[in-house]
Amino acid sequence: MIKPAELTPLTALRFEQLVLEAGLPEGVVNVVAGPGSSVGARLVEHPGVAKIAFTGSTEVGRAIAAAAAATIKRVTLELGGKSANIVFADADLERAAASAPMAVFANAGQDCCARSRILVEASALDRFMDVLEEHVESLRVGDPLDEATQMGPLISAGQREQVASFVPDDAPVAIRGSAPSGPGYWFPPTVLCPVARDERAASEEIFGPVAVVLPFRDEAEAVALANDTIYGLSGSIWTRDGAKALRVARAVETGVVSINSNTSVRVATPFGGFKQSGYGRELGPHALDAYTEVKSIYYATG
């Protein structure tokens, strides 16, 4: 399923054409192309618009919520994330470590669901890092049009500069993959460890191919670390202990949790976040709630 916020101007215009070709009446779907600061702001403020759905940064989401308050219109927000990938010592470490890179580096890390905080039980840290290093260094970074490519470039020079600010020269780089040197906003997949839990890389959304690894002692600390963020969008739990998996899944403050996988989005199930990752749900039957008004009608027959 394509969400409007994921459409580029060209694909959005093509989407409108396809809707008409599919038989929907003209005017049912309208695409208005333009910058959010002007076109988007006008839609949010306009009294004729009853509902706004936004996917983007938490900063812009705050501004939209504030502007929408003037007309008391409904708003659903799918915002930033700093999702935790929790790996217990009793997990299939090889599988967890092999899956971790693409849970962060898919789309060059430009993904609100990116599991950019990898929490690993301390007793398994060395083994996990050994396997993780192998898979990060073998990641194929290159032309997105090449079917063999696993990770492409960042979207702009400004975004590359922003991502690089999280990896200064003295950063604790534990693992670094490769990236082309030719034209393109390339940034190599990078893993930082050790990192203090209050450092920028461990607490702020990077929106790029940078992950941090944080060790934990036990289940309680794993939950505390996972919840030590303003965000709550997605996350994973890796363990062979089913009871522990469900306990942690219930305790982690996030809208989507995967056990022994990195799944975040399915068309049939609701998707959305807790805390400053937004409110409301997209996809699944719950998505209709924000577009539905409940009316009570009392009809006296006597």
Distance CA 118, CA 106 (A): 15
Among the listed residues 78, 121, 205, 282, the single catalytic one is 78
108, 105, 80: which is closest to 185 by C-alpha?
Answer: 108
Among the listed residues 112, 113, 121, 282, the single catalytic one is 112
Distance CA 209, CA 274 (A): 23
156 and 208 Cβ atoms separated by less than 8 Å: no
Would you call 219 a catalytic residue per the annotation? Answer: no
272 and 282 Cβ atoms separated by less than 8 Å: yes
The tally of CA atoms less than 13 A away on the side-chain side of residue 196 is 3
* Number of helices (H), then strands (E), in the chain: 9, 10
Could you tell me how far CA 78 lies from the centroid of its own chain? 9
Distances (CA, A) of 197 to 36, 118, 165, 193, 213: 34, 12, 17, 11, 10
Would you call 199 a catalytic residue per the annotation? Answer: no
> Of all helices (H) and strands (E), which one includes residue 53?
strand 51-55
- Catalytic residue numbers? 78, 112
